Amino acid sequence: MTEISKITTAHLRRLAVVYVRQSTPGQVMANTESTARQYDLTQRAVVLGWPSAAVRVIDDDLGVSGSSTAGRSGFAELAAQVGLGQVGLVLSLECSRLARNNADWYRLLDLAGACDTLIGDTDGIYHPALFNDRLVLGMKGTMSEAELHIL
């Protein structure tokens, strides 16, 4: 199944949310290119079929670690919108922007799978309700959590 074929009219009737996060205020200041690349994902959502007016950016967690959901109001807002069925696609530069902790990651995947919400990063578009996509997303989450302990 191709990236585009996973996107249905039901997804396009809902929001595309670009989630922007970097771990520390220092990274936000020093890595402006990364921040710009994350904001540029709004254009990817448009290319994938969402009207500009239906693309939202959640950037409340800039400068906040993804190791926990504590203090991450942006992640809480994202999860709430997904759980309410308002989001057709969540886009992030890489999955580690969403969560670096498997418990938080799988809660988001469970919500997204149950609410028919796609997850996208620079590698592709995934549907957490599809076995192969969930397997790939699970590996991405595991690698993200491992990086927290290695880096």
Residue 3 is assigned to a structural domain of this protein: no
Say what the pLDDT of residue 151 is.
Answer: 61
Q: Which of 88, 111, 103 is nearest to 145 (CA)?
A: 103
Query: 48: which residues sit within 8 A by CB, 6+ positions away?
Result: 3, 4, 7, 16, 89, 120, 125
pLDDT digits (tens, 9 = 90+) for 77-108: 999 999 999 999 999 998 877 888 888 899 99
pLDDT of residue 66: 73
Q: What are the beta bridge partners of residue 19?
A: 58
The CATH number of the domain where 121 resides is what?
A: 3.40.50.1390
Catalytic positions: 23
DSSP output for 50-76: --GGGEEEE-TTTT--SS-STT-HHHH
Mean per-residue pLDDT, 41-54: 98
Range of the domain at 130: 17-150
pTM of the predicted model, to two decimals?
Answer: 0.91
